[in-house]
Every structure is written in structure tokens, then in C-alpha cells.
Structure 1
């Protein structure tokens, strides 16, 4: 039997899945790492830690192959988006990677807009600048660490570095490159004129390909470190959002994915690139078309923060059960999930998290439910924008860690007033990465054919409760007003 490896380089861990060409997951392993914050508003990770973690997960999956007659015929990637990995002429890492949730580059964004007007940059990239994206992070290095900037030979996205360690080949793909914001999203190529105007040598950007194209082959040295066989083809892979969408079978408009992992995202494909002139959402490259994305920076992270730093609780099953007994609306306790600023719809790095309405009657389980509801309200903001842009929303598929919580799934269904569906696959980004490898190695003639075979729908569906929806409609209005009334205070 032939197998594929799907490797997802996430924010808090790397996960590798061993998947056959029928879409069955035979092994899965994750290895965690932490976000480092050397100073206020900074979020960094060491790429070498990614590689060490990836090697452990690969070796684990290969152990599951021992004794079988199967072999790995292709490897694909999914990865956290926007981050910057700077490499010197020997392709050695110059400094820790600046990742997507970093907030240090606000001054650089202002400087960029002094050179290129916001509307002009928006028409080319279809997005507005935000801290944590590669372009402003690169400009921050240029201004604040010129000794590092002068050493840069190439800049790549996080998953590109792991693929380089496997193949020795530097490169990226359109679904990840577009999220650097130095990329022409409509034409799917680097924005060379924009780079020149900002004083950036375009030679530092790697060749850009499609996620299913073969990037290279496992080298002997990588084989020695991982246990893989030399010569296994490795495709470019893509950003985590388009890969999880592929892993859920989402290729065309009408279906949206609702993901709650470390962050939270609402994703829907579009056949033509959409330019939201109000810059409330992002428009990026999907595989063979485009997609619109609304994002919350602290979705699952909010619950993790609450459990680790306030409740000192690790038993999620108990918290789910007890929070499920709390009335809808958390007895009028409201949570704003802006622990690390907000991206959609406010694009405000100064936004702060808060609990509003605390009373003596509230306990830890009220707080848990309020966090779940607050994250759902934040994602409802994105859904409202999709509706405003006349993007069809016919079906919602849940993705990410929150699908393990029936309570959280029900809350989202009730807040959205939409039926929530799932697929049988739990590791959607790994599945999407494996599908890219399957297509790139000609196991299937097209992505559509691969999805039809490898992605299997589940009969699990969460129906919205209309009465709960009425309560949430009223609480959602309060949720929105809390940001508006506190916006100026957040700046202090």
C-alpha cells in the first residue's frame, strides 16, 4: 500500500499524519513548542525547534509502517501563515522567526503607507497591512536590526523552512506567498514594483509555485535524520487555511469553514478576487482560485489562557460538562477575545480582552462558557461581513480543535443560526497537505478527484436552536458595543 505524509506546522505544535490514498489516517503525532516573547508585543519561534519537533513526528509515523509492505510516495505541507524566516547565503537561520501574532511593527506599517498609499497597496495585494505579516516584519528588521537585514539572502514562510530541511530546495507557494503582503494576489506573483519602492531587493523572495507541484526530493542527510527514504517527492504545500479547507473538501463558493484553533477563522472560496475596500477581511490565493478570510487572533488561545493562568485546570471534559449547565448567555457575562489585538473586523492591535458584567453569582464555568460565546461572537463579525459582500453561505463545516467540544459547536451553530457539519477527518490541514502530495505525484488526475476519494463527510451535524439564537442576537449587540465604547481606553 502507498502512503502519504501530511505535515502541518502549526503555531503551538507540528503534527504529522500517515495517510493512505483512500484518505484513511493510519498514524498521527504532534509535538509541541512554545511562542517566545522577548519583549512587549513580540512573538517569535526558533525554526530549529520546528525541525526537531517535525523529525520526532515523522519518525513516529514511520514506526507505524514497520512490518508492512507500504511505502511513502509523497510528502505535503501545511503551515502557519505570515511568519518570516530570514536565511543567509548559506541558508542558515539569521534570527528567530517573527510569527503571525507578533504586534511589534505598527510603526513600520505607517512608514510603508507614507511611501505607498493604503489604497494603492490594497488594490495590488487586496489586503491591508497588519502587524505579524511578513512585509512589515521585514521592514522592522531593516530599521531595528540592520546587521541582520544585511545578511538576508532569502526570506521564507515557516513551513517552507521545514521543506527546505527535507529537500535542500528554497521555495514557496502562492497560497502562502500572498499572505506576505508583498505579492500581487490577483496575478499570483511577487509585487516587484512594490518591493523596489520600499527599497527591498526582490531577489530575497524565493521562487513561487503551486501547492501541488513537486518542490524537490528527500535528501540523504534528511533521510538520515528522519528515517525517510532518500528520493521521496515533496510538494510545496500551502498555508494552513487553504490546506484545512482542502482537507474539508472546500473548493468552490457556497461552503465556509469555521476553524477554532489557536486563532479563529472563517474561510470561503471565491471564483474572482474580492477587494474589500473597508479592509475588514483578507483576500488570499486558494488552490486554483481565491478565498476570503476573517480572523480572530485569540480564539482557542483565549480558552487555553483561561485554563492555564486563571483556572489552573487541565480537564477540558469536566469544564465542557459544567459549562454546558450554565444558561445560554452565561448569565449576562460577556467576554471580548482580544488578548492579542484584533484582526477582523477592527484591525486593531491595541484591542484588549475583557470580561464584562462579572457578579458574585458567576463562577469558573460561567467564565468558560463566556469565552466560548465571545469567540463565537467574534467569528459572527466575519459572517456579517461575508453577507455584506454578497458572498454565498450555504453550508458551514467546522474545523480545528473546537470540534471536540459539542458545547462549543452548539454555541457557534446558535450564534450563527446555521447548521454546522463536519468531516470524518480530524486533522484537516494534514489531510489537505496529503492531498496536495497525492495530486503532485499523479496518484489522482485532479484536486477534485482526490478530494472526492480522500475526504469523507460525517453524519454529525449540529442544528441551531432558534430560541438560543434570539438570546445570542441580543448579547451579540452588547458584544459589539463593548469594543466601540472601550476603543479609546484600549490605547492606554
Structure 2
């Protein structure tokens, strides 16, 4: 009898569900989108009940479309957008909309904190610099601005943890997502309860923490009715979307870099010790099987390209944008885009940073803008790579993932700006695949993550190589790009 695995990826703009058999054949993928709510400038929230409804309907659509017997699904794994804050009261009901990772409302609180000793303690314990949109930053804002809601909190979860709760009834989280809260001792892999007390947060609201492959519970009858899943199907804890993206690309040990361009963009790698940048320009989080991941995370990835498409290329899809950029030479004839439309995280951790088009002349047209945006997003990844190299991390092999891996032209831009060979997975939903891999190990179908990755992660035959002429152009462009933020910081 065939054995199937399901991977669920709760993204920022959509939920995706993948079904794969134990030999590596993908039976199907379904997705449904939803919106980000912004009741005030700089706010970013989502209604978790709507996200659950989208997840449930997507699962049902996938099961109907594939026609498989749900009893043959041996495990379900989860991946999800990181850092967001989801609040439950003692009746396990949602208190308010989730505050998600792109939210900027806590900026003034963090600015005040940056001048205090507690800020340094956050860095030393979490190995990260507090930023807007992080779980702990949103909690501190809530405690001050919505005290009535704060007093109602029984448990404070992360977005995917709420979806898991709706699947199997288990309240909990796991190390990869918990380390992204910035109230977690990343080296010791446990909640930083003493630090929480120092900033006036009751650590009892933190959910119990597990490892990614542990079984959280099984599909409940209520969930089965909503999704079509079989009651009793094992549900694993899973992980944050970036660690799961890495797993879905087979990156479970040191040696390979993942360049992901989704809503945001991230350059990440795996290390076997809690290595971190002493200037805190990057993030260090927990990875699977006792490893850690170092990440250069930008708030501006595909969201910047979406902005350009929706506001300047109405009626044009991504296929049109890809054709446009092929008509423009590498370097966009001197046009450079600083992509900080939503502030920036790595390497500046500055919510006030803003985007710039630099070098604009009469020779430039709409096609230049399309290429410059793709190049600017990739320059941001290059900044993270420079930090990795400073830390002695090998960056010889780069695996591209996310929406940025679906464009052959953008893959060439990545190869030329990063100066590396670019590999891509045959599966275009790597976070979903990573979640399914976790499910397979947790269900005992595979004896280890390595065995699961060897079986399920396959790469395309085509490797995208850097072109020397383009690399030379981009080296000069990157030198100018790196000066744009410091030269304009005071204006921001």
C-alpha cells in the first residue's frame, strides 16, 4: 500500500499544501491566498481564523484533486512564516489578529531599548538584535498599548503553531520557530525566562517547546470534518519557513548556502555551533537535528517586485517582467535600486530605512526599473554573503529557492551578483517539501533526515554559471549600492 506524506506551508500571502509519496513522487500541490491587514500605517496583521479556513479548504481541494485515500497519509508536517504573535485566552480563543513579521509598530519601543543595558542582554542571550515584527517586540508593544488584551493572554503562539492546534489540538512550538521570537536562549535551545522577567513578560505564556520531528498529536474529528483528513493521522511539530525551506533543499548540515526570495528574501546556511555575527547584522536561529542556521534576512524580496508590478505594470504578469529584463544589460545602465520599501533588517536593522532608485537618467525606461528591482533585491543577498565570508563560512554552493528561483533570468542575475554557481530543486515548493520530510522522519518512514533528503530532494540538471563580463559590472554596481544606505541614513 502506498504511503503518503503531507507538507503544509503557511506563508505570508498564501498557504500551500503538498502531497508526496514515500518514493519522492509529488502527487499534487494546492494553494490559496489571503491578505495582510493594515489598520494603521506600519501595521501588519492577519486573522488566524481566516488563515485556518484557507488551510482547511486547501487540504480538502488537494485530497479531492488527487483522489487518494486519506488513511494512506502517514504524517503531516508544518512550515510557517516566522516571528509573528498569535494570542489565545484560557478558552483557547483568539484574542486579536496576529501581528506578523513585517509589522513596524514597535519601532519607538526598540529605539528606547537600544539605549539601555537590557538591549545588550537580548543580543548576548538570543544571539540576535531585537527588531520590529518579532514576537517579543510585539508583546512589549501590546503590554503597553493594549493592556486589556495582554491580561487575557494564556498562551502566545507563532502562526503555524495555531494551525497545528487546529489540526490536532496540541498547544506547543518547536526550536526553529521559538528561536525566532527573540526571547529564546538560542545557544541552550530553551526559553529565556529570566530575560522575559527582566522586561516584565510572564514566561508562563510561552508554549512548551519541542523538536521539529516530534509528534504533536493526531488529526481530530473536528479537523477531519473540515479538511477531509483521516482522524488519527500523526501531525509533527515542523518548523519555521526558512529552516523548512533549507530542509526541502537538502540543507541539513554545513556546506551549502540557500538564497531564498519569497515575500522577503534570505541568505542562510547551516552551522554546527551557535556562530553569530558580533555586530548582529545577521540572525542566528536554531535549525533541525541540533544544528543552527545563520541568516541574512531582508524584509524586501518579492514584495518589492509585487509593488513594482501592481503600481507601474498593471495588467502585466511576471512573465512580462522577465521578458523586459532580458532587453536590459546587466547593471541596468547604471540604475540601482535600494529595496528598503518596508524598512530593513539585515544588515542595518532599521525600520526607518527607505527605498531609492539611484542613477536615473533620460536613457532609462520601464524595462530598466524591472531589472533594477531584481538586481537590488539580489544585492541585498550579496551583503549577507559578505558577512558570511567574514565569519569564515564557505559559500561555494548556492541553492536558489522561492519565487526568485522560478525565473531563469533572475537566476542568472543571482549567479552574476553572488559570483557562484546556482542550483535549483525540481520541487518548486521547498518549504512544503521540508515539512513533508519532517513528517516522514517523525512517522518512522525514514530513519534519519539524511535518508529522507536523499530520497526526496532532487535537483535540476541545469546549473546556472556566473558570466565573467556581468560579474565585473556588478562588482562596480555593488560598491555603489553599499554606499547608498550610509549616505542617506540621516535623511531616513
Shift in Å, 1:402: 1.2
Separation in structure 2 between the aligned mates of residue 250 and residue 69 of structure 1, nearest angstrom = 30
Structure 1 residues without counterparts, runs of 5 or longer: none
Q: In the alignment, what sits opposite 1:66?
A: 67
- Measured against aligned partners, the alpha-carbon deviations of 1:42-94 in whole angstroms (never above 9, x if no partner) come to 11111011101101110011113426697211100000000000111111110
Of stretches 353-362 and 32-41 in structure 1, the one that deviates more from structure 2 is: 353-362
Q: In the alignment, what sits opposite 2:85?
A: 84
Q: Write out aligned runs for 1:461-476 (5 A).
A: 461-476=463-478
Q: Does 1:256 align with 2:257?
A: yes
Kindly tell me: are residues 351 and 111 of structure 1, through their superposed partners in 2, closer, same or farther at Cα, counting changes over 3 Å? closer
Q: In the alignment, what sits opposite 2:33?
A: 32
- Measured against aligned partners, the alpha-carbon deviations of 1:186-227 in whole angstroms (never above 9, x if no partner) come to 111001111111121111000100011000111001111111
- Measured against aligned partners, the alpha-carbon deviations of 1:256-291 in whole angstroms (never above 9, x if no partner) come to 000001100001000110132101000000002001
- Measured against aligned partners, the alpha-carbon deviations of 1:408-456 in whole angstroms (never above 9, x if no partner) come to 1100100011000112111100000001100001001111111111111
Of stretches 305-314 and 366-375 in structure 1, the one that deviates more from structure 2 is: 305-314
Residues 105, 140 of structure 1: 8 Å contact kept: yes
Q: In the alignment, what sits opposite 1:414?
A: 416
Residues 126, 182 of structure 2: 8 Å contact kept: yes
Residues 333, 355 of structure 1: 8 Å contact kept: yes
Shift in Å, 1:373: 0.6
Residues 176, 239 of structure 1: 8 Å contact kept: yes
- Measured against aligned partners, the alpha-carbon deviations of 1:270-323 in whole angstroms (never above 9, x if no partner) come to 011013210100000000200100011111111110000122133221221121
Separation in structure 1 between the aligned mates of residue 311 and residue 89 of structure 2, nearest angstrom = 38
Residues 123, 275 of structure 1: 8 Å contact kept: no
Shift in Å, 1:355: 1.1
Separation in structure 1 between the aligned mates of residue 268 and residue 190 of structure 2, nearest angstrom = 22
Q: Write out aligned runs for 1:96-107 (5 A).
A: 96-107=97-108
Structure 2 residues without counterparts, runs of 5 or longer: none
Kindly tell me: are residues 232 and 335 of structure 1, through their superposed partners in 2, closer, same or farther at Cα, counting changes over 3 Å? same
- 2:443 paired residue among 441, 444, 454: 441
Shift in Å, 1:120: 2.1
TM-score by length of 1: 0.98
Q: Does 1:367 align with 2:369?
A: yes
Q: In the alignment, what sits opposite 2:233?
A: 232
Residues 83, 97 of structure 1: 8 Å contact kept: yes
Shift in Å, 1:119: 2.5
Q: In the alignment, what sits opposite 1:55?
A: 56
SS at match of 1:488: coil
Separation in structure 2 between the aligned mates of residue 124 and residue 275 of structure 1, nearest angstrom = 11
Residues 2, 70 of structure 1: 8 Å contact kept: no
- Measured against aligned partners, the alpha-carbon deviations of 1:312-346 in whole angstroms (never above 9, x if no partner) come to 13322122112111111111111111000111111
SS at match of 1:328: coil
Kindly tell me: are residues 235 and 489 of structure 1, through their superposed partners in 2, closer, same or farther at Cα, counting changes over 3 Å? same
Residues 87, 154 of structure 1: 8 Å contact kept: yes
Residues 399, 428 of structure 1: 8 Å contact kept: yes
Count of equivalent residues = 490
- 1:347 paired residue among 335, 346, 349: 349
Kindly tell me: are residues 191 and 326 of structure 1, through their superposed partners in 2, closer, same or farther at Cα, counting changes over 3 Å? same
Q: Write out aligned runs for 1:315-464 (5 A).
A: 315-464=317-466
Residues 326, 409 of structure 2: 8 Å contact kept: yes
Shift in Å, 1:113: 5.0
